[in-house]
Structure 1
Amino acid sequence: MDLEITKYDALPPTGLIQVENQEVSRATQFKTTASILLIILLSFLIFWNKIGSGQFLGDDFIFLEKAGSFTVSAKNLASFGIFHIYHNTLLLASGFRPVPLVLWLALYKLFALESAYYHLSILFLHSAASVLLYLLLRKLFEENVAMITACIFAVFTGHLEAVQWISGFFDVACAFFLLSSLLLFLRFLSSKKSSFYLLSLFSGVLAILSKETAIILPLLLAAVLLWTRPSKDGDLPLKPTVKLVLPFVALFAGYLVARRIFLWDYHTAGNGLLSFLDPRRLLNVWTLLENMTLPHQRTPFIERILPVVVIAFGILSFLAYKNRRESRNTMLFAAAWFFLTAVPTLGFLDRHLYWQRFNYLPSIGFCLLIAEMVAGRPGRSKMLRCVLPGLMIGLYSLNTIHQSGVFWKPAWATARDVQASFREDVDPVLEEPARVYFKNVPELVTGIDVFFTGLPQACAMASRSGKNEFYLESRITPEVPPLVEHADELMIEANGASYYVFEWDHLKKRFVQAGKTLKEPRLEKTPIMWDFSKYSDSSRWEAAQDIHPLSPTGAGSSMFVTTGKDSFFKSPFIGGRSLKYVQVQFSARHADGLPLRGQVFWVTEEDLRYDGRKSVVFDVKNDGMPHTYTVPLYVNVSSLKAEIQRVALRISDRASTVVEMRSAAFHFFE
């Protein structure tokens, strides 16, 4: 007699179900923990070599100087986090990144100039970002795809600059907080607890205060929602998406408005989003694809094969998308992430300024695409499912180690030699106050910025005296006066300062003193003076560019407002004379309260162009009070032999500065 078994009889006991669920939960937890430990281990194994040998390079010293000179005051707190070094976003021409700078400040207070601790901190941050990426992707895609993506991201060769260079703190910190925001957002979706939503908002704020590229976070949130919240009828869940993303949009829009009010830093040449219409932006996309597909330092051979490699990878990706239906959603998400996170860094029209560290966020999409292409499917053999991902992770790991040894270690060694020679050969011989020029300093070593920037700040921090000034001879900008060929023609003592030139000997790897002389040219007794309260005097000056007069015409043009960053106020012609000082008295006021910069230009009969090579920069007090500024032109040695025909004043480097000119005087050499 057959027994009739109902569906209830076939069910296992409730206790057995609970035990099995607990075992599955423990197994899942163990697998997750093991995956996290593996990601951290890979990060440290591949990048650990920089902890002992890594040095400060280039821009690092600019931020170190900012941290070292910081004191708690209303002025410092108001300007903390603001700088004008990087112009690498589409809309924004200045940086406001207080979160990484707070980390820099804490590290400086704890460890001063011990570079190993800075490298260790950024490596911890990179490892944490890799773990967050794994936890995020496992909620969106298959476990093995998330794991492979995070492992590739942890060892990716394209991260060498972001992780090896301490100035990459901005990119890594931005990615860390952005991934935290996305992960907390997903936690909110699953738990419906508003606390996770608020924490996600807070992490988003920290991300954008780490670097402006986090401005695309609302778009990434919308993309995540589209992948996690399909509607019942198959249409896109537009209304719920808008409701959840709108607070992020409003918050970030408020951030942009605040920047507009306090920094006034939109690109004037780019005209904001309209600059996207420039077809040269496509070159940046191509550069980004090159950096991802073959993350290798550029050599002539690499330059030749790069286009072929990029095109071949594009064909493989298209074939994988076409032939593997189950992978299409993942590949579409990877492409969306790649291009969305690349948008804020497309502001450069010069593709050579597209630095490798800008790849850090977009590389997540690329790593996800690679992981999806090599991830084993259930139909494949177990060996193949393990070998392909392991081979890809191993290749990236070996390439990263090789690139670090070939390119970064020589740069670090050179930086170490330069700083050691300064302490031993330069600083001990200086008679304070001193103005020091460095010639032939190694700027780029194996393509790495050693002292392309940052040497003046490095020397100022290492010098025994805080009264000395340091300049890079090759960085001829309005801020750094150029040199002449012969050192003995350069050396002039003025206001008690001694002038030195030190040249880098690439064979000895030491600084060699090129010269020092002390001469004091005498002034003519009678300068030329203008009183701007007199219409007859002020009318002789020409408001040439970016200046809107505010005074009534009959009272003289002594008060005006700047309408751009290049405001030029031109003097009358002075007949080809050797000019030593320009002395001006004026008041300046800008709404942000931050320091302003003025600039004195001149033209000669041979060269009638107003450019930075024939200029001197000076600091302007932003308090609306009249001050007298004495600007020595002789610090720019090109003025010593020049027969100056005319002078132009740039009173402020910012638009909307209200200026009242009171007087001007030119002092000539005898």
Structure 2
Amino acid sequence: MKNSSTPAGLKCKKDVSPQPGAEADLLSSSRPDIISIKLIVVLLVFSFALFANTINQYFLLDDFEVLFSAKYNKLAGVLLGHDTVLEHKFFRPLPMFFTWVLYKLFGNTPPPYHILSIFLHAATAIAGANLVYLLHRNTRVAALFGILFVAFPNHAEVVNWPAITFTSWAALCCLLSLNLFAYFRLSGKYYLLILSLVFFLGGMLSKEDAFTLPAIMVIFDLYFSRVRKLEYPLPRQAGIYAVYGALLLIVILLTRVRMKLGAGYLTVEGEDLVSLYLSNVFALISDLIRMEARAWKYLVAPVSPEIPFSSYLISLVWLLALVSLGVLLWKRKIQFSSLLFSFLFISITTLPILGTFRVLALTHWIRFLYLPSVGGCYILSLILHGIDETTRRPVVRFTMIAAALAPVIILTKYYDHQWIEAQQENKGVVERVAVKLGTLPQFSRVYVEGLPWSQKEIPRIDYSFPGAAGLYFDREYLQGALFFLPANKVLALEREEYDDQQPWRYFHMAWEGDTKQATDPREITPHAHKKFVDEWDFSGIHRQFLGPVNGLIPVQTKSGSLPLFMVDGPWTLLWLSPVNPVRPVQYVTLEMMLSGKRGGMDICRLFWISEDDREISGGKSIGFFAEADGKFHTYKIPLYKNGLTLTHPRMVRLAVRPSQQVGSVFCIKKITVESY
């Protein structure tokens, strides 16, 4: 095994101090393979100083959902991913556990959650700076990386939004895992490899970004081995990589297959992205290219579109970066291998964004760029260090670095101010509405109009109002509603624990955005609870209402038998019975048969159209699992769980997408519509 101290990525003076070998103690060298305590303290102090005004701020959208979950959840439920805002979509017990602990200790007092958020951000910067130091053995480069990462503007969402700490938890665990893997390479001590795997597991239990770590590990190991002149037998390397891959596979099997979690958001049309990309390679390639281009754009120049001449500013920053990089490469102040490593790191870590790109896209500060920004800050720190080395006069060097960092810090504080404004507005909404709610009796249903949704791409409160109200009052039966509820058309939205004997009372309020005040609660009478049932049997005359479209092919059967259809495309649809728009739908029961080549479970989707909008869209649909075993089964779909009776109460027709598996056979026997 060989070892050398020659750094890569920049040109430095030769280090004559001995380097730790494979069997040497990591800290036995006169220059230890770890950043100094002074730099750690500097980065911690800088982080808390930069975001000091964030500590005492309020909460935003998902914060209320997460804290409400922590309030009523038990430890076992937290660890199993039950009863959280992310349930049935993601499995992230590690950050939820720490949120649960903080709630048990401090309740809904904001500072502890913001302190944790800032601390995780600082710890991520420190772990990244130490990784850079391991690569270059240069404190100045590590310090530049740490300061850049702490102050980089596209981290505003992660730092200011406590519910998004799963992003910083995942990034921190990934970087700690890489650090420990590097130490394992230097020392050969297997307990470091085990610790690296533990942090890898922690990252995967925090956010799906960590799933890319095995691929990152390979390119990092190749780069690190080249930098430190380390040589290892190929079978040994492959065996170690396989351990990380096996751990990843186990987690995927347990959290995705066993728990039936998704691999991303649904598109606007209601299509799951996995099915979309498997059936449309062109869409996959197109989205990948657009996603990578957008990511690189904001990783180098995170300028908000609302800033005047933002496109010109982004172009200017990119031009300066490319010219500086070209000059430094020509002068051999930066090596091409460093640039290649940064490019591959960013390309790999942005891959999980594909699961959200069609829905959430990418903005200048979105959380999905947090881990990829490690690669962006790395190459920017090398550029700054290369510029710094072009002159030997201390005053000029300091001025050049300050001139480069000043716009970064100013832009970060500008974004920080926008998030603080949103938090203060939320605090006013909750406190002023809560004063009114405090006068209401137990078992009250309160409907509040006009709650702010978002502004300048910053979420406010909107649908999380019930959670916010639940934090203010220890009353599980106090229920809020969404801002779009019509003022004079209130519906009784029932819940699983509803008891007809309870003396429910209904109230209506409104938040007036102009005056920043809440109106007094006004008692109202909802629609009667009398049940209306419409039943459609498609074995007889009602089959005339069925309308197969988009590749759903009718199959010829004997006269009088049930209608049979074959799926011949991913966007098939079967129009069902009309619905009385006067009565809001509560349940839809389907008696149907589905037979697929693979058998097992398949995903069906029930759509509806309203009087206002006659087009099918994913926003007006709900998915459900169905047995694809060729037998008839009954599925009762509670539409009110999706807030359906509030968003589109006047439905006129239903439709079903039976399957996206070509060749599946579908038969509908009966449909029952229950209304309030």
TM-score normalised by the chain length of structure 1? 0.75
Residue 9 (structure 2) aligns with: none
Q: CA deviation at 1:246?
A: 2.4
SS at match of 1:325: coil
Residue 198 (structure 2) aligns with: 202
Residue 19 (structure 2) aligns with: none
Residue 409 (structure 1) aligns with: 420
Please list every run of 5 or more consecutive structure 1 residues that lacks an aligned counterpart in the other structure: 1-22, 86-93, 475-482
What residue identity is the alignment partner of 1:37?
V
Distance, in Å, in 2 between the alignment partners of 1:653 and 1:64 is 37
Residue 349 (structure 1) aligns with: 358
Q: Report matched runs for 1:540-555 at 5 Å.
A: 542=546
* Equivalent residue for 1:167, pick from 163, 167, 170: 163
Residues 588 and 621 of structure 1 are in contact (CA less than 8 Å); yes or no, is this contact kept in structure 2?
no
Residue 99 (structure 2) aligns with: 104
What residue identity is the alignment partner of 1:332?
L
1:419 equivalent to 2:400? Answer: no
Q: CA deviation at 1:167?
A: 2.3
Q: CA deviation at 1:169?
A: 0.4
Q: CA deviation at 1:101?
A: 1.3
Residues 456 and 471 of structure 1 are in contact (CA less than 8 Å); yes or no, is this contact kept in structure 2?
yes
Q: CA deviation at 1:436?
A: 1.0
Residue 336 (structure 1) aligns with: 344
Distance, in Å, in 2 between the alignment partners of 1:654 and 1:294 is 43
CA deviation vs aligned residue, 1:463-514 (integer Å, no higher than 9, x gap):
453223322234xxxxxxxx44xx2344779977554443222233111258
* Equivalent residue for 2:368, pick from 340, 351, 358: 358
Residue 327 (structure 1) aligns with: 334
1:61 equivalent to 2:64? Answer: yes
SS at match of 2:524: coil
Q: Report matched runs for 1:434-449 at 5 Å.
A: 434-439=445-450, 441-449=451-459
Residues 488 and 515 of structure 1 are in contact (CA less than 8 Å); yes or no, is this contact kept in structure 2?
no
CA deviation vs aligned residue, 1:399-418 (integer Å, no higher than 9, x gap):
4334323x122112101101
Residue 269 (structure 1) aligns with: 276
Q: CA deviation at 1:168?
A: 2.4
Call closer, same or farther: CA 1:107–1:276 in 2, change over 3 Å. farther
Residue 39 (structure 2) aligns with: 35
Distance, in Å, in 2 between the alignment partners of 1:327 and 1:201 is 32
Distance, in Å, in 2 between the alignment partners of 1:274 and 1:111 is 49
Residues 604 and 623 of structure 2 are in contact (CA less than 8 Å); yes or no, is this contact kept in structure 1?
yes
Q: CA deviation at 1:423?
A: 0.9
* Equivalent residue for 2:86, pick from 83, 86, 89: 83
Call closer, same or farther: CA 1:24–1:564 in 2, change over 3 Å. same
Distance, in Å, in 2 between the alignment partners of 1:501 and 1:652 is 41
SS at match of 2:276: coil
1:95 equivalent to 2:93? Answer: no
CA deviation vs aligned residue, 1:227-275 (integer Å, no higher than 9, x gap):
2324999999866543432222232234334414532524222339946
Using the TM superposition, name which of 451-460 and 358-367 deviates more: 451-460
Distance, in Å, in 2 between the alignment partners of 1:27 and 1:341 is 31
1:313 equivalent to 2:313? Answer: no
Q: CA deviation at 1:120?
A: 0.8
Instruction: State the aligned residue count.
Output: 615
Residue 141 (structure 1) aligns with: 136
TM-score normalised by the chain length of structure 2? 0.75
* Equivalent residue for 1:211, pick from 207, 210, 227: 207
Distance, in Å, in 2 between the alignment partners of 1:540 and 1:198 is 65
What residue identity is the alignment partner of 1:371?
S
Q: CA deviation at 1:202?
A: 1.8
Residues 155 and 370 of structure 2 are in contact (CA less than 8 Å); yes or no, is this contact kept in structure 1?
yes
Please list every run of 5 or more consecutive structure 2 residues that lacks an aligned counterpart in the other structure: 1-26, 264-272, 495-499, 595-599
* Equivalent residue for 2:55, pick from 44, 51, 60: 51
Call closer, same or farther: CA 1:403–1:505 in 2, change over 3 Å. same
Call closer, same or farther: CA 1:215–1:652 in 2, change over 3 Å. same
Distance, in Å, in 2 between the alignment partners of 1:280 and 1:613 is 21
Residues 583 and 628 of structure 1 are in contact (CA less than 8 Å); yes or no, is this contact kept in structure 2?
yes
Residue 482 (structure 2) aligns with: 472
Residue 478 (structure 1) aligns with: none
Distance, in Å, in 2 between the alignment partners of 1:493 and 1:142 is 63
1:380 equivalent to 2:387? Answer: no
By relative contact order (CA 8 Å, sep 6+), the higher-ranking structure is 2
Distance, in Å, in 1 between the alignment partners of 2:567 and 2:70 is 32
* Equivalent residue for 1:71, pick from 59, 71, 74: 74
Residues 587 and 675 of structure 2 are in contact (CA less than 8 Å); yes or no, is this contact kept in structure 1?
no
Q: CA deviation at 1:145?
A: 1.1
Distance, in Å, in 1 between the alignment partners of 2:237 and 2:276 is 35
Residue 10 (structure 1) aligns with: none
Distance, in Å, in 2 between the alignment partners of 1:84 and 1:275 is 32
Residue 19 (structure 1) aligns with: none
Using the TM superposition, name which of 391-400 and 158-167 deviates more: 391-400
Call closer, same or farther: CA 1:122–1:627 in 2, change over 3 Å. same
Matched residues, percent identical?
A: 20
Residues 294 and 362 of structure 2 are in contact (CA less than 8 Å); yes or no, is this contact kept in structure 1?
no
Call closer, same or farther: CA 1:244–1:421 in 2, change over 3 Å. same
Distance, in Å, in 2 between the alignment partners of 1:103 and 1:597 is 36
Radius of gyration: which is bigger? 1
1:122 equivalent to 2:117? Answer: yes
Residue 15 (structure 2) aligns with: none
Residues 569 and 648 of structure 1 are in contact (CA less than 8 Å); yes or no, is this contact kept in structure 2?
yes
Call closer, same or farther: CA 1:452–1:35 in 2, change over 3 Å. same
Residue 371 (structure 1) aligns with: 381
* Equivalent residue for 1:397, pick from 385, 389, 409: 409
What residue identity is the alignment partner of 1:403?
Y
Using the TM superposition, name which of 189-198 and 258-267 deviates more: 258-267
Distance, in Å, in 2 between the alignment partners of 1:312 and 1:588 is 60
SS at match of 2:358: coil
Q: Report matched runs for 1:440-589 at 5 Å.
A: 441-463=451-473, 465-474=475-484, 483-484=485-486, 487-490=487-490, 498-513=505-520, 516-518=523-525, 520=527, 528-529=534-535, 536=540, 542=546, 571-573=576-578, 578-579=582-583
Distance, in Å, in 2 between the alignment partners of 1:297 and 1:544 is 46
Distance, in Å, in 1 between the alignment partners of 2:87 and 2:298 is 26
Call closer, same or farther: CA 1:660–1:79 in 2, change over 3 Å. farther
CA deviation vs aligned residue, 1:160-196 (integer Å, no higher than 9, x gap):
2111111220111011100111011011111111111
Distance, in Å, in 1 between the alignment partners of 2:463 and 2:236 is 48
Q: CA deviation at 1:140?
A: 0.7
SS at match of 2:480: strand
Residues 81 and 98 of structure 1 are in contact (CA less than 8 Å); yes or no, is this contact kept in structure 2?
no
What residue identity is the alignment partner of 1:416?
K
Distance, in Å, in 2 between the alignment partners of 1:374 and 1:76 is 44
Residue 15 (structure 1) aligns with: none
Distance, in Å, in 1 between the alignment partners of 2:461 and 2:331 is 49
Residues 300 and 318 of structure 2 are in contact (CA less than 8 Å); yes or no, is this contact kept in structure 1?
no
Q: CA deviation at 1:380?
A: 3.1
Residues 291 and 356 of structure 1 are in contact (CA less than 8 Å); yes or no, is this contact kept in structure 2?
no
Residues 141 and 330 of structure 1 are in contact (CA less than 8 Å); yes or no, is this contact kept in structure 2?
no
